[in-house]
Amino acid sequence: MNSTINPGSQGIKLRWYTGLNPKHWRVLAASWLGWVFDGYEAYALFIVMPFVLKTMLTPEMLANKAIYAGIAIGITLLGWGMGGMVGGIMADYVGRKKMMVYSVFFYALFTGFTACANDFWVFCFLRFITGFAMGSEWSTGVALLAETWPNHARPKGAGFLQSGFGFGTLIAALTWFVLSQTMPLGQDTWRLVFVVGALPAFFCLYIRRAVDESEKWVQAIRAQRWAATESVDGEQKQAKRPFTLTEIFREPESRKRTILAFMLSLTTTVGWWAISALLPEYAVQIAKAGGELTPAIWGLRAALLYTGGAVVAYLISGFLADAIGRRSFIFFTYLGSLITTVITYQLVHSIELLMVSAFINGFFTLGFAYSWMAIYPVELFTSSVRATAASFIFNAARLIAWVFPIIAGSIIKTFGSIPQAATCIGLIYLIGLVVPWFMPETRGKPLPE
């Protein structure tokens, strides 16, 4: 596939990978693998949760196992959001490479500790710490890739990076499938899933040896360029560096970009939690109504197809965003999310059609809906605050959405059924049809320095 760039006044047709060298691919590999591990950790928790609860809860607590499952998942997400915020800020102070190493090492370490937990609340504490460490990997990875890849290839690389999460969930599902065939530790076999999750600690050695620090970030710090956007480049330099989280809200243009991008991030996060959390259970309901002998397997199939659709979207997202522009891509993403959510939960009534719909819905609500966050926010802010801005946009929404797993049962009860709950919450995608048009178009433009 070709991509047009404009060095100077003369447009030149280049293949999208023209100019990429081994250094660029190493940065992508490191960032992609980090996100694979994050995807593994996130989905592994969903898969093994029933077995964790059976091992750790008393009979009285098991009577309310849905509540305890929601607490464990919600606490992990809370730690993920908080850690992402802190890690993104730290990446703008100590560097992208260092924070990536710290993030991978500590979440691998505490994942290993999780395998040894013998109490539910200790398990939750370890999941919170794991999520906290895991949260900063994404923002450091996207900032490092954005600042090292050439402009014409950057969006494609960002889309490839984002696909790591989908591959991680598939690896988690495959890991559990293999272990579940023999159950070597009986009801404690779930612990081996977290033992496998500790392996990324060795990946730190690769990061330390193969990946260089971002030169754009180093140059911005040396030149004391503290402004958050290029719109204030002419401002007099300050000897004392302002706090990066404060800086992205200080001047009007940066504040506007941050708030609008956060609104879109919240739209993605709330919509995704509503749909992905409810889809497997809805598939089981449809399978039961259709007389399937093993309805539970259809819930797993729906989840895997949903993730498979997302992986396809991740891989092509950068090409489409470059072809039609960032704002049109985001509009198309949320329009597709809205339409496919209505179709999935209101118009599909057979299990076979639901599988097809799950794939297409995952393409939009998980794939494209998260891909723009790897492509677009890094193009809105300068190198001295880029990781902070990306982490705030991505993770602040999680600090709101972490309650959704805990109140999932109440949501269904409030709306009366899964289809009604998913459809009503899915109306949040309407925000994504309006907000993009108030934001700047960055297609073809170099990163702000």
pLDDT for position 232: 57
Q: Is residue 444 part of a domain?
A: no
The mean pLDDT of the chain is 88
| Greater model confidence, 270 or 204 | 270
pLDDT for position 58: 85
What is the DSSP secondary structure assignment for residue 15, as one 8-state letter? E
Q: Angle at which helices 252-289 and 386-395 pack, to 10 degrees? A: 40
Q: For residue 214, what are the domain limits?
A: 19-231+244-438
**pLDDT (tens digit per residue) in 15-60:** 888 889 999 999 999 999 888 988 898 888 888 888 899 999 888 8
Q: Is residue 239 part of a domain?
A: no
Q: Is the pLDDT reported for residue 416 higher than 50?
A: yes
The predicted model scores a pTM of: 0.88
Residue 10: pLDDT band by 50, 70, 90 thresholds? very low
Q: Is residue 333 part of a domain?
A: yes
| Tally of domains within the chain | 1
And the tokens for 229? 């956007």
The residue-averaged pLDDT of 217-239 equals: 76
Cβ pair 323, 152 in contact under 8 A: no
Q: Is the pLDDT reported for residue 4 higher than 60?
A: no
Q: Is residue 448 part of a domain?
A: no
Q: Is residue 343 part of a domain?
A: yes
Q: Is residue 63 part of a domain?
A: yes
Residue 330: pLDDT band by 50, 70, 90 thresholds? very high
**pLDDT (tens digit per residue) in 86-115:** 999 999 999 999 998 898 889 889 999 999
Residue 134: pLDDT band by 50, 70, 90 thresholds? confident
Q: Is residue 114 part of a domain?
A: yes
Q: Is the pLDDT reported for residue 6 higher than 50?
A: no
pLDDT for position 8: 43
Q: Is the pLDDT reported for residue 401 higher than 80?
A: no
CATH code for the domain in which residue 338 is found = 1.20.1250.20
**CA–CA separation, 395 vs 83, rounded Å?**
8
Cβ pair 307, 364 in contact under 8 A: no
Q: Is residue 71 part of a domain?
A: yes
**CA–CA separation, 190 vs 296, rounded Å?**
19
Q: Which of 341, 370, 346 is nearest to 358 (CA)?
A: 341
Sequence-ordered list of residues with C-beta below 8 angstroms from that of 323, at least 6 positions apart, any chain: none
Cβ pair 271, 341 in contact under 8 A: yes
Q: Is the pLDDT reported for residue 236 higher than 70?
A: no
